[in-house]
């Protein structure tokens, strides 16, 4: 092999073909979201398929012999990491603990806006709160407290509503059991009216705001 072929890249990294195969396979398999085929892995790592197949089986055997908490399986024509069944209790405990974590004040406020104004778009929620609610909405979606509820006819923006899980966690039989909010509605309407033009739409299908409109909102960290 010539010196030109082994020269490192400008960033100081070795080429894919120069990498050690076992750790390279581990690194790739750590980020796949579905089983990766031997053909695909061989193409990505610039190695013969037979070498990749043999190495994958070696890794799988090593993890079993070492008693690791995960295993490498050939499923649906591809390879992927899975936790071992005997450690399911530990994984379940971690997942449930994350689901039961307390919501932040920002999340609670956003959830309240959705609950009382549903179905409602993200931009409407952001207008009422005066801040970008994208991150908080994603958290509420992941927790199963809110869900998509179609689109807004005028703008095509996605609408959101609370879920049955929300009712369960709040101890409510239905939305009609939510506390009365009438005394606070005028103030909420005024806030939205004042901030609607200054808050850019955070719905992916909505048009960008005019360049001469000054954005006076803040973004949650």
Claim to verify: residue 110 and residue 175 sit in the same structural domain:
yes
Over residues 140-158, the mean pLDDT reads 90
Claim to verify: residue 128 and residue 174 sit in the same structural domain:
yes
Claim to verify: residue 41 and residue 118 sit in the same structural domain:
no
pLDDT at 97: 67
Is 123 within a domain? yes
Is 99 within a domain? no
Over residues 13-18, the mean pLDDT reads 81
pLDDT at 173: 79
pLDDT in tens, 156-198: 899 999 998 888 878 787 888 888 865 555 444 444 444 444 4
Structural domain including 63 reads 18-86
Is 69 within a domain? yes
Claim to verify: residue 33 and residue 111 sit in the same structural domain:
no
pLDDT at 195: 40
Cα 70 to Cα 19, 31, 39, 74, 88, distances in angstroms: 24, 15, 23, 13, 11
Residue that terminates a domain, selected from 57, 86, 115: 86
pLDDT at 115: 93
Claim to verify: residue 78 and residue 143 sit in the same structural domain:
no
Higher pLDDT, 80 or 183: 80
Is 2 within a domain? no
Is 73 within a domain? yes
Is 220 within a domain? no
pLDDT at 3 over 70: no
Over residues 121-139, the mean pLDDT reads 89
Claim to verify: residue 75 and residue 167 sit in the same structural domain:
no
Over residues 26-34, the mean pLDDT reads 90
Per residue, what are the HEC states of the chain? CCCCCCCCCCCCCCCHHHCCHHHHHHHHHCCCCCCECHHHHHHHHCCCHHHHHHHHHHHHHHHHHHCCCEEEEEECCEEEEEECHHHHHHHHHHHHHHHCCCCCHHHHHHHHHHHHHCCEEHHHHHHHHCEECHHHHHHHHHCCCEEEEEECCCCCCEEEEECHHHHHHHCCCCHHHCCCCHHHHHHHHHHHHHHCCCCCCCCCCCCCCCCCCCCCCEECC
Total number of domains constituting the chain: 2
pLDDT at 178: 86
| CATH number of the domain that residue 156 is part of | 1.10.10.10
pLDDT at 64 over 70: yes
Claim to verify: residue 199 and residue 112 sit in the same structural domain:
yes
Average model confidence (pLDDT) for the chain?
Answer: 78
Claim to verify: residue 50 and residue 115 sit in the same structural domain:
no
Is 96 within a domain? no
Claim to verify: residue 120 and residue 53 sit in the same structural domain:
no
Query: What is the pLDDT confidence band of residue 118, given thresholds at 50, 70 and 90?
Result: very high
Query: What is the pLDDT confidence band of residue 99, given thresholds at 50, 70 and 90?
Result: low
pLDDT at 44: 95
């Amino acid at each position: 092999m010539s010196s030109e072929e082994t020269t490192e890249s400008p960033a100081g990294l070795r080429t894919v073909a120069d990498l050690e195969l076992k750790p390279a396979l581990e690194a790739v398999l750590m980020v796949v979201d579905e089983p990766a085929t031997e053909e695909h892995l061989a193409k990505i790592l610039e190695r013969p398929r037979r070498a990749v197949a043999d190495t994958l089986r070696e890794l799988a055997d090593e993890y079993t012999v070492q008693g690791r908490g995960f295993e490498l399986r050939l499923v649906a024509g591809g390879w992927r990491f899975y936790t071992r069944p005997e450690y399911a209790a530990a994984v379940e405990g971690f997942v449930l603990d994350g689901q039961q974590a307390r919501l932040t004040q920002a999340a609670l406020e956003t959830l309240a806006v959705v609950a009382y104004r549903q179905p409602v778009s993200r931009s409407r929620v952001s207008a009422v709160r005066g801040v970008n609610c994208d991150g908080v909405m994603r958290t509420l979606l992941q927790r199963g407290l809110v869900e998509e509820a179609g689109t807004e006819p005028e703008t095509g923006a996605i609408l959101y509503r609370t879920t049955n899980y929300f009712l369960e966690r709040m101890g409510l039989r239905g939305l009609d059991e939510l506390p009365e909010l009438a005394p606070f509605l005028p103030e909420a309407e005024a806030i939205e009216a004042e901030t609607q033009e200054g808050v850019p739409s955070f719905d992916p299908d909505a048009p960008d705001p005019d360049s001469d409109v000054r954005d006076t909102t803040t973004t949650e960290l």
